[in-house]
Structures are given as structure tokens and as C-alpha cells.
Chains A and B, each alone.
Chain A
Amino acid sequence: MRFFKNWQLPLAFVLFFTGIMLMLALHAVHGEADSPTQQKNKKLITMVQQQEEELEQLKKSLHDKRESLNKYQKSLSEGKLETEKLQYELDKLLILSGLYPVQGEGISVHLDDNTKGKELAIQKNPDTRIEDFLIHDKHLLYIVYELRAAGAEAISINNQRVIGPTDIRCVGTTIQVNAERLGPPFIIKAIGDPDNLTRALETERSQYNILKMSGFPVKIEKHNNLVIDSYKGSYQFTHAQPKEEE
């Protein structure tokens, strides 16, 4: 029995590797044999699991969305009052700035050059100053300020909205308002209490009255619903800046 000594280890070695390979091969062949149904089943199982996971995630996201929606609705109802207030302020400021077209009761003042008076005067005296028979920028300016003093809330001259920075000045034979050249006849629209405005213009020393007495073809019309266009120019502030609060 001497061969027992040296055959054990080599044979153990060989059988060891054979065992490993046998199991691996069995496993591979087994897995291969079951592939059509088992792999399909596995695929289906993973598919179901994936779908379930997706469903779970969707449920979660739905929940989150609902929660955020609730939050927004809550904050919306809470902020509604504040936004309404802000919107009211904004509207007021836009009307004040002339960026909104406005409507309401008011008057329109019609002014034109005194052509008839001019011709009569020239017939009498050829050296008459014809400037005295024209509507000048100063007349418009005075009338605008008289209207403002009487509480006019919006004013326009020939549909040029008169706002804070509006310029009214003489440019040659025309009058420039909002850098727009205007010629006679002039129609000044003003929204405000019609009676107050008319009364203010018809006082003895008002510019309107002076023109009327001088024989200019002027008239005042009262309107129940007057529409005044918005300011079409730009607002530019290159120098003025809001004062920083301390």
C-alpha cells in the first residue's frame, strides 16, 4: 500500500478543480436551460418592481405638488389684499404719470387765432403787430395752470398729454408740446369737475377771459365722458435719483 502516500495530494488537487468547474458548468447550463421561461419571469418581475417604484415616486411627487399647491393658494389668499392695495397704488401712479389713457367728465377748451380781427386791423392800419392776433405758448401755459388750479386731473393739448415734464414753448410759428409741434386750432381737454373748471376759466382776470375779450374765437364745451390719451413719450431721469433713506 505504498501508493497511498503520494497519490492523495495530486488527486485531491485535480478533483478540487474538477469540482469547481463542474459546479460552474452545471450552473451555467442550468441557467441556460431555464432561460426562456425563467428569464422572462425575471424580466416581468423586475418590470413590475420598476413600475411599482415608479408609481411610488409619482405618488410622492403628486403629494408634493398638492402640498405646494396648497401652500401657494394659502399665500395667494394671504397676499391678495396686499396685491390689491399695490395694484391700486400702481393704477393711481400710472394715471398721475399720464401713462394710462383716462376718461371721465370734463371740459374741452377750443382756441384759435384771431384771423378776422387781424384782417380788420390790417385794413385799418397796415403796421399792426400780427403777433397780437395769434395764440401763443404763454396763453396755453396760463390756461393749463388755471385748469390745474381748478382741480383738473388730466389735461391734454391737441391730444398731447400734459404731464410733469411737459414743455410748452414757442418754436417759430408753431407751439411745441411734449416735443411735438402743434398748430392752431388748439383744443385743451381737461378732466375734472366741469363747473369748477369752467368757472375758473371764466373769472375776470383769467387768460381765457382775456382772449375772449380780445375777440379770439374761443369756447368751452362740457363733456360727460371725455377721453384723454396717454403720454406717448419717454420718462428719462439722468440726474434725478431717489434720495436714499438714512
Chain B
Amino acid sequence: MADFLSDFAEKFGLMFLGLAAFAAVVGILLFLADRAPKRGRDVLQLLIFLLPAGILLTVGLIYPAVNTTVLSFFNRNSQEFVGFDNFVWMFTQPQIQITLLNTLVWVALVPTLSTIFGLAYAVFIDKSKGEKVLKSLVFMPMAISFVGAGIIWRFMYEYRAEGFSEQIGVLNQIIVWVGGEPQQFLQNSPWNTFFLIIVMVWIQTGFAMVLLSAAIKGVPVEIVEASRLDGANPWQTFWNVTVPGIRSTLVVVVTTISIATLKVFDIVRAMTGGNFDTSVVANEMYTQAFNRGEFGQGSALALVLFVMVLPIVVYNVRIMRKQKEIR
């Protein structure tokens, strides 16, 4: 116990030191911006506001991204230029083809389902009694780590053969109760991918719901009112008033979830390890680069991930442009 306390004190001491140091650096920078000489003041202030983030991003993301792009054209230990070999490998290996296909299924289903469930739920509980509690229940998975979610759902999907043992997983127990045969949810391809996707939807719905619920409350009541007076039924009001009113939040939600989905890694790793045809690009990339030391192939997979996200980025940029014009 004494050890634990001193460990505790030491680590928290370090934390406060870190926080203080950070505050001091940022404080000094902003102070400098405040006292900047008139000449060149604008440039200096701009730099001070942008540079800290800019430097970190350049070092931590831009450089690695460029590096990855280069590596994807080299062999496993980056010694030899191999042209497009890694990409040829990717699109000719049946295993990787399945991985790519799975990733597309993930990114098609997770944002759609999470948003639909989140939006429906947000609308259903809006202004209802116990809204807070109901919200918390669905948001809760968001607070659970992927590792924790993996544990929870392994218990849900647990399989025991019929006649050999009692079921200990809820889903199979329900199947048995209604007279069906227990299923190996995580082993039977291709459906196992959907059972993994359910876990991600379970987590992300809370995120979608919280944001969309906030947005719905921001839709001016007068407009809803007006639509109502025009004789629209609730469904029409929802489609013609609420949805347009929360469109930009919807875009943020779908974008954020899509990107999180493309990067999904922990769920697959914790639940199937990418076995039984359930691998996705982010998992395969990790496996190739770090389990097998194939940095070339891993980088090539990363590049494919970039390309997959590109449409989402382009769409968002167009939205942003439009908004700028409005302003």
C-alpha cells in the first residue's frame, strides 16, 4: 500500500509538472503575441497561433504519411525499390481481397446503422420523461474501450455445442429457447463480419445519438411550429424540417464514424484476431508491418486506406466551401 501511494504521488507529481510546463510554454507564446511589435505583428501572431499544432502535425502525421507512401513502393525492409509489387500482391491475394471487401462492408454499414439508430433514438426520446437516463444507457458503450467491448461481446456470442453443454452466451441461449441450433457467431464466415460490425454499431450509436440529439434541440421551434400549422404530419415535419436543420451535424457524425470505422483495429484483433475471413485493412496493416515485419506491404495497405477515405474528405471539403460562401 505504501508503495502504491508513493507510486501514485510520484506519477501525479510528474503529471502536474507536465501540465505546468505546457501551460508555461503556451502562456509565454501568447504573451509574446500580445506584446508583438507593430511591424510584422500579424504574421507573428498567426504563427504563434498555428505553429504549435503545425509543428506537431508535420512531425507526427505529415512526415509519416509521406514516409508511408514512399515505403509502399519498397520491399519488406525498405531496402529495395519494387515498384507496384506490393499493390499487385494486395489485389491478387485472395486473403487480402477478402480483407478489402470486408473493409468496404464495414464502412458502408457502421456509419449508416449507427446514424439511423442514433437519430431514431434521439428523436424518440426527445423531451420524453427520463430522457437523461435513456440517453445515458445508449451512450454508455461509447465510454467502454474496444478491448472492454470485445470482452463483453465474446460473452454474448459464446458458443456451446448442442447436447454437450448448457449455453452460456445470451444469443445462443435465445436461439435454443426458440428451438434453433446454436451458432458459432464468430467463426462462420461471412456472417461473422456482421457480428463484429454489430459491436462497432453498438459503440458508435451513442456518439451519433448525443450529437444529433443536441442538434435537434437546436432546430428553431418556430419553423417546426410553422410546418405543423401548414398541416404536415410528424413524419413530414421530421423529413422536411428537422433533417435539413441538422444536416451539417449529420455530416459531422457520418464523417467521424466513417473515419473511425476505416481505422477499426482493436475490435477485430480482440475478437477474432482477423481469423475466419474477418480481417480489415487496419488490422491487416498492423499484422503485415509488425507481426511479419513486411513494412512494404503494410504501407501499401495504409495507402489504400487513404484512398478509401478520400471521397469522404472531398465531400466534406465541398460542404465547407458552401458554408463559407453562405457566410
Chain A partners chain B = no
